[in-house]
Each structure stands twice: as structure tokens, then as C-alpha cells.
Chain A
Amino acid sequence: MDLIVETFFNLDVLREMYPFLLDGLWMTLQLCIVIVPCGIVAGLCVAILFSFRFRPLSWLVIVYVDFFRSFPPLVLLIFIYYGLPFVGVDIPDFAAVVLALTLNTSSYYGEIFRAGIESIPRGQWEAARSTGLGFLQTMRYVIVPQAARNVAPDLTSNTLEVIKVTSLASVVAMPELLRLARVAQGLTYNPTPLIAAAAIYFVLLWPLVRLLSRMERRMIAGR
């Protein structure tokens, strides 16, 4: 028992290393603050392009979505991070991570919004257009408000996934929470920083998980 406490919950190590973890947390938050909105906006664009119901465009959108859903995000990240410099494109690390994870997540957000828009019956479009509302007005005042309710659980779920996926940035030496926890582990020869990082993630994300399982249950019960 003592061994376990000494090893995984070592307060001395924690006291020494917590500034590291806080730095990492801050970087993780920065990544989230940039990637989540980028992903949502890109996803909305994808869904709106789809809803024009112009066949070739719809196909392109589906290909885009399925293409990026087929790659593990880590593969995409490594490809962009190591690949771009080879062709002379030099972008900052932060931008490379944001680009890779946004491409990945925009396909998920796009699919969610697309399904949400699809879930609104045709009659709603026709009713709105018949009163003289334009395409974007119909979208904004009639379709999106209804779709938003339907997609809230999936949206929350995907946002949770995006936040978790920022941990992949540690693989390309981005100093976010997991990366700095590993560095701290290396410096102290003790895994307490890893456990602490896990605890931080849990405290951060647990409310979201609770909220989500409630929403999902209500969704299914409503059918």
C-alpha cells in the first residue's frame, strides 16, 4: 500500500512539479480554445455546402468527411507535422497541430450538423421559403434552431473527444499537459505527474461526461 502511495501519489514530487503541470494545462486549454471553434465553423461550412443539394457538391462533401474520418488523428498529425517541412512549407508547431486536429474534427462536426439539418422535415423548408424567407434566413431562423436541439448530445460528445484528442500533440513534443507530465516523470523517476495529469483531465471532463450521459438517455427515452 505504501509503495503504491509513494509511487503514484507522491506529494513531494507533486509539490516540485506542479508548475510544469500548470503550464501544460494552460497549453492544453489554448489548443482547445482554438481548435473547438475552428472545428465547429469548418463543420458548419461542410454541412451548409451539403444542404445546397447540388449533387457534385454533396458528393465532394461526403468524400471530404469520410476521408478525414478514415484517418486516425495521430496519423494526420504526424503526416502534417513531419510532411509539410519536406515540401518547404514551414509553419509553427502550434499551427500544425491546430491544422491537423481541425481537419480531423471538422469532418465529425460536419457530419453531425449535416445529420441535424437532414433531420428537419422538408415541409419546414417549404413553409419558410413560401413566406419569402431566403435560403440563409430559413437556415438561420427555422432550420438551425430546430437542428440544434437534435444535435446537442452529439455536439457535446464530439467536443469532449476534441478536448481529449489534444493530448496527441504530446507526440510531436507540443508542451501540453500530457507532454509536460511525461517530462516531469522523466525528471523525477516517478509516475505521480502522469497520475496527476490524468486527475486533471478527469476533473476537467467529468462534468461533461455526466451531462452527456443524461442527454443521451433523454434522447433515447424520447423515441
Chain B
Amino acid sequence: MDKKSPILDVQGLRKSFGGLEVLKGIDLAVHPQELVFIIGPSGSGKSTLLRCCNRLEEATSGSIWVDGVDVLSRSTDINRLRQRIGMVFQSFNLYPHMTALGNVTLALRKVLKLKRDEADRRGRAALDDVGLRDKVDAYPYQLSGGQQQRVAIARALALEPKIMLFDEPTSALDPELVGGVLNVMRAMRKSGMTMVVVSHEMRFAREAADRVIFMDQGEIVEEGRPAEIFGNAKHQRTRTFLQNVLAG
């Protein structure tokens, strides 16, 4: 790994919901062009970790820096920062009343204040990148799940983020639609995007991840290269989890 400063730097992150501590001191550094995979059982805090990184969830303590900006500082313009952190959700969350292009250009026009034709140009390019050139004018209900998720990726990409966070991007998809989304993610990796991916697609992790992190009960149990984690994990908890996932 190169020694450049990390794009995402999380230190001692804790998060509680009421009395329930969901993240118990997470340290995580993600470097430019790295693809970090996060796996772990349901309820281990994976989504919460991602959501703290762009402050959809307020951290209880610790520090988070993205591209040299303090995420948790009160003086940070969170809306500007969020443009640099793309996020893709399990349930797509496309705006149902807007076309694919409308979904992609809304933030370009209203946050970056681009002119309509400039926004459209960038929006089309982003949709082109995810292979949906011919679906610009389609509404979400006219698209398959896989296409919807690609529009959601384009929506984040169009803002030219420094890092992309994926929260189980393929979990809501029929098996035959998963490949298309993974292909888009492969292409993004090739073009040098920094990515953090929460997913159960172990084959994809093995092939594409630089690093795999196993989380359980709000802690990082272990991390390493895919071959290490999948081949001979040090911790029993990791091995049990992987056995269960790969068996089921």
C-alpha cells in the first residue's frame, strides 16, 4: 500500500443508539484507489459505520476525516462534503417522480448550481458510464432493479466523488441482475475510484478487494488481503461466519 495520506480516516469511532452501543471504537483508514470490503453478520454495525462517514448518522465520539476534512466538526459544510462522498443504498432510493436523468442531475443543478445543459451533459456521461445511455428518459418504475441501482450509482458518480460507499448494493436484486451492477463496480475500480463496499458477494470480494474487513458486534475483528481472510482467517469468529455464508 502506498504511503499517501488516506482519503477516509476513521479513528476511535463510537456510536450508540440510546443505551445500545453499536460501534465500539472503530479504526479504519482507506487509501486512494483502494477497494475495501466489509463483511460481518447482520446487526454488526456495517451500515452504521458507512452512514456515520457522511453523517447520515451522528457519531457519538471519535474522529472521521474525509479527504483532509473533519467530518464531525460543526464548522464543516456537510452538504459540500457529502458531494465528495458518494453513497449507494441497498434499496436504490431513486426519486420515483423523476427520470433517470432527473435523478442524476438534481444535485448537479441545485447544489453545484450548474446550468441545465451542463448538468445534463454530465448526467448523460454518468449514465453512459453505467451502461444506461438509452435509459436517460426512463422513470424508475420502468427500469429493472439492476438498472435502478446503476442509475443510483450514476447519481453519486456524477458529483465526481473522492470516495464511494456501497451498502449492500446487490442484496435487493434478483441473482441474474447482480452481474451488471458488479461490472459497473469493476469498471469504477479500474478507473481508480476509492471504494468501501459492504456486501455478501464473497466471490467479488475475493477477486476485486484490496482488503477485507470482518466486523462483529461493533468491532473490527480482523482484516487482511482477501486470500488471507478467506484462506486462513486468524479468528474463530471469522471462520464461523465465513463457513455459514459460504454454506448458505
Chain A–chain B contact at Cβ < 8 A: no
What residues of chain A have their CB less than 8 Å away from a CB belonging to chain B? none
What residues of chain B have their CB less than 8 Å away from a CB belonging to chain A? none
